[in-house]
Amino acid sequence: MPSLVESVSPAEAAPGAAVAILAAVTVGIGYYRPSPLAAVALVLLSVVLVARGLRPFGGTVAYHLLQAAAFVAFGLTVVATGNVTAVAAAAVVVGGVGVLHYGWRGARNGLLASVSE
């Protein structure tokens, strides 16, 4: 079985890193005050977004399924802690659609299949 991490693509990791930095800044300046559980979910989401730069894993169905699930987890965590917002609801809905889509593709083609196939 080939390695799922043969190289790191900074260009692919940069958007995820930008989101992670933006999240850290908004929390740091007090604009967004997540509950401890929502903060953990936000960190997890940030790590998943940066992991897109891991080649070839970042281009697989498994990565996209993981990313969609991370959005659902973040959105549900925010909603469960009492901060029902449009962003949290959108994360749940869009992430849920992604889980269904990539789950179906993973079942048909395998989780390690490229999304470009």
Q: What is the pLDDT of residues 43-60, one digit of tens each?
A: 999 999 999 999 999 999
- Look at residue 1 and tell me whether its pLDDT is greater than 70: no
- Mean pLDDT calculated for residue range 10-28: 95
User: Which segments of 8-60 does DSSP mark as H helices, in order?
Assistant: 10-28, 36-50
pTM above 0.75, yes or no: yes
- pLDDT tens track for 75-95: 999 999 988 899 999 999 999
* Per-residue DSSP letter, 58: G
- Look at residue 69 and tell me whether its pLDDT is greater than 90: yes
Q: Are 92 and 70 in contact (CB under 8 A)?
A: no
| DSSP three-state, residue 38 | helix
Using alpha carbons, select from 55, 73, 77 the residue that is nearest to residue 65: 73
Domain residue extents for the chain: 9-109
